[in-house]
Structure 1
């Protein structure tokens, strides 16, 4: 048994059978919908001068997060998956383009965000499948900060959890949007 295949298959099953089908038909209105006041989202730069990003659209966040952290939109969650979950790790571990919150050009449409997500996911899963047993055991390295000495297998498991977690939240937001009053 190749553990890199098993770990990639775990996420891929969720992606193919749950998350990605739930994103089909996502509209721009849903993408930007704010279920409560004060949401963090992806917005035009002029609407969020403290947002992060290099293009017309920026993502909102603060570090440290306020207590409690704001509710986030589908746009925000997709941006988080594209840049913070997959993108930065693709760059650090699989030769992908550099990705960080300040230099990334965030999508201003649902279709654009899904294209970014599909590409980031494709690169991540190809990288995980290529790790092999030795790659899964090697340390993550300095890109992972305090987790630098953790094995890559731990990072892969963490990314799987993040995608499943945020995917479930996106799915719930879609359910709430479709049933709003």
Structure 2
């Protein structure tokens, strides 16, 4: 394998074996589930109570700049929106000539199915771009975009982002399906010991 193939494979193995299967069967109820008060989410335009919201369509993403401390808990919808736009779409645009992306002009998904389609599209573009890089590409900063670290560093950063945010989403799915000792949900969700009664 080339270096770029090894870097791509690190995330792609996780994507196919762990993260993407854990998102199968995601319902709109789970997508928008707020486990605590004050969550940030994706909401119908004009209904957010966050300091700011961004997005161009019928749905907007809650946020603030600078971010509050401590940061609010975020829903699966918010986390998927963050992965799609901030982790993948921006970098596909900067590094691989993708379409111009602006979080303020992005049409955030109002359903789980739509969000997963956006996720699959952006992940596919990211993965193809990484696999096509040469060793020289990896050793140098990206030719475009605001980041001046070597491209290999940027790829490892995105890998970490998707792995850790994917784990957060998986945990939220587990919590949703095990609320109040409920029976486990879809296959692969909530696997573990039976709660004591």
TM-score normalized by the length of structure 2: 0.88
Q: Which residue of 1 aligns with 2:5?
A: 5
Q: Which residue of 2 aligns with 1:154?
A: 153
State the Cα RMSD in Å.
1.1
Tell me if the contact between 2:31 and 2:76 (Cα under 8 Å) persists in the aligned partners.
yes
Q: Which residue of 2 aligns with 1:40?
A: 40
Unaligned runs of 5+ in 2: 181-197
C-alpha displacement at 1:74, in angstroms? Answer: 0.2
Q: Which residue of 2 aligns with 1:111?
A: 113
C-alpha displacement at 1:141, in angstroms? Answer: 4.7
Q: Which residue of 2 aligns with 1:52?
A: 54
Higher-Rg structure is 2
Which contiguous aligned blocks of 4+ residues in structure 1 show a shift greater than 3 angstroms? none
C-alpha displacement at 1:133, in angstroms? Answer: 0.8
Q: Which residue of 1 aligns with 2:168?
A: 169
C-alpha displacement at 1:100, in angstroms? Answer: 2.0
- 3-state SS of the aligned residue for 1:51? strand
TM-score normalized by the length of structure 1: 0.95
- Separation (CA, whole Å) in 1 of partners of 2:94 and 2:86: 12
Tell me if the contact between 1:54 and 1:103 (Cα under 8 Å) persists in the aligned partners.
yes
Select the structure that is richer in helix: 1
Tell me if the contact between 1:59 and 1:76 (Cα under 8 Å) persists in the aligned partners.
yes
- Separation (CA, whole Å) in 2 of partners of 1:119 and 1:95: 15
Aligned residues: 178
Tell me if the contact between 2:95 and 2:144 (Cα under 8 Å) persists in the aligned partners.
no
Q: Which residue of 1 aligns with 2:64?
A: 62
Unaligned runs of 5+ in 1: none
